[in-house]
């Protein structure tokens, strides 16, 4: 496979552009984060995110090309996140990609954001099929089975809160700054013991549920306050994280063994969580199943992962056109064996 892709990602609050060669080599990966702007609101404000994207998108694309030492005529295609995400944010990246593709006579490829997260692992080592991907982020918690490139089967998903969403909500209960996940992870490792919070197993299914756990944390805090007692934040953080990690790990191992996969991948923003990475690595090593976790720089939203996925889509003949629009609720569909190559 030989191709050179310019990729753009603006699905939430990171403005990113990257140049990827052959689906596995990062020539540049530029990310303009909005965390400092958004943390005062305790989360992402869509209108503010869109305005920041407008300010940053051109500069980020130019920097990505410059760092990669290439010119537009060197490229084979332009890729961009089509969805899911914040529609206003998506449209900034999509319109920038369409303008660039039109101006330089390049094909354009719309990439699913979650597929991008999965393909971040291809930038670390070759993907071994069949594989199982655990996608954990602020908006998604899913187990996805892949029998080949471009084949996606969701075998389990959250029925309510995503894991990352639960982390952020519990962080607010503990008065921690946004984003709360890294703070909870750090505090969990500092604690000597944790509060015993429940696990939602949802027997006979690979699905997840974290809203009950979130409510248990809130109720625990309120009950202590009503008795005039204070919580120990580190112990709450550890108890909460232990519950989340145990459920994610147990269900992933169960699915991996039952499906006979050759590799397990963890992807998404929460895959940067130290507790989760350590738990999965240890459990999968015991089962003799290869495990891949991308470096921290490729866990959160970035354009390199979009470019990696697009490289395989390009080779499969998948193309979009200039009528592409932002799809905030875009479904994850397979493109490996479809007869209709135009998406």
Report the C-alpha gap between 3 and 310 in whole angstroms.
10
Positions in the chain short of pLDDT 50 = 338-343
Q: What is the pLDDT of residue 295?
A: 96
**Predicted model pTM:** 0.94
Report the C-alpha gap between 97 and 9 in whole angstroms.
10
- Residues at the binding site are 113, 117, 135-139, 168, 181, 185, 273, 301
Report the C-alpha gap between 256 and 264 in whole angstroms.
7
Q: What is the pLDDT of residue 338?
A: 46
Q: What is the pLDDT of residue 339?
A: 39
Crossing angle of helices 274-287 and 233-259, rounded to 10°: 30
**How many Cβ atoms from other residues are within 10 Å of residue 47's Cβ?**
10
Q: Could you identify the residue written with the tokens 């193309």?
A: 319
E strand or H helix at 249:
helix 233-259
CATH level 3 topology of 4-119+298-315: Nucleotidyltransferase; domain 5 (3.30.420)
Question: Please, is 326 exposed, middle or buried when counting C-beta atoms within 10 Å of its C-beta (0-12, 13-18, 19+)?
Answer: buried
E strand or H helix at 36:
helix 35-38
Q: What is the pLDDT of residue 138?
A: 86
- Residues at the binding site for substrate are 135-139, 168, 181, 185, 273
Report the C-alpha gap between 10 and 29 in whole angstroms.
14
Q: Where in the chain do CATH 3.30.420.40 domains reside?
A: 4-119+298-315, 128-293
CATH of the domain spanning 128-293: 3.30.420.40
pLDDT digits (tens, 9 = 90+) for 193-226: 999 999 999 999 999 999 999 999 999 999 999 9
- Residues at the binding site for Fe cation are 113, 117, 301
Q: What is the pLDDT of residue 342?
A: 35
């Amino acid at each position: 496979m030989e191709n050179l892709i310019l990729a753009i990602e603006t699905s939430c609050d990171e403005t990113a552009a990257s140049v990827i060669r052959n689906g596995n080599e990062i020539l540049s990966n530029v990310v303009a984060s909005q965390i400092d702007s958004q943390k005062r609101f305790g989360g992402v404000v869509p209108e503010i995110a869109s305005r920041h994207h407008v300010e940053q998108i051109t500069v980020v694309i130019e920097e990505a090309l410059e760092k990669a030492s290439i010119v537009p005529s060197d490229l084979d295609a332009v890729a961009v996140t089509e969805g899911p995400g914040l529609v206003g944010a998506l449209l900034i990246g999509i319109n920038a990609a369409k303008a660039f593709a039109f101006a330089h006579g390049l094909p354009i490829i719309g990439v699913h954001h979650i597929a991008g997260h999965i393909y971040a692992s291809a930038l670390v080592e070759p993907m071994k099929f069949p594989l199982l991907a655990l996608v954990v982020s602020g908006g998604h918690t899913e187990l996805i089975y892949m029998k080949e490139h471009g084949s996606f089967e969701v075998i389990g998903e959250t029925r309510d809160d995503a894991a990352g969403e639960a982390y952020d909500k519990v962080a607010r209960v503990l008065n921690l700054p946004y984003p709360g996940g890294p703070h909870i992870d750090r505090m969990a490792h500092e604690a000597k013991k944790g509060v015993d919070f429940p696990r939602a197993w949802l027997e006979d299914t690979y699905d997840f549920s974290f809203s009950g756990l979130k409510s248990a944390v809130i109720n625990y805090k309120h009950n202590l306050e009503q008795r005039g007692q204070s919580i120990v934040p580190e112990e709450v953080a550890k108890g909460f994280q232990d519950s989340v990690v145990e459920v994610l790990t147990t269900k992933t191992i169960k699915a991996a063994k039952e499906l006979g996969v050759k590799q397990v991948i963890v992807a998404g923003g929460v895959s940067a969580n130290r507790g989760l990475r350590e738990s999965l690595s240890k459990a999968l090593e015991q089962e003799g199943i290869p495990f891949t976790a991308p470096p921290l720089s490729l866990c959160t939203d970035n354009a390199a992962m979009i470019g990696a996925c697009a490289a395989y889509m390009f080779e499969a003949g998948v193309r979009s056109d200039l009528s592409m629009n932002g799809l905030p609720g875009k479904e994850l569909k397979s493109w490996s064996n479809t007869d209709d190559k135009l998406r």
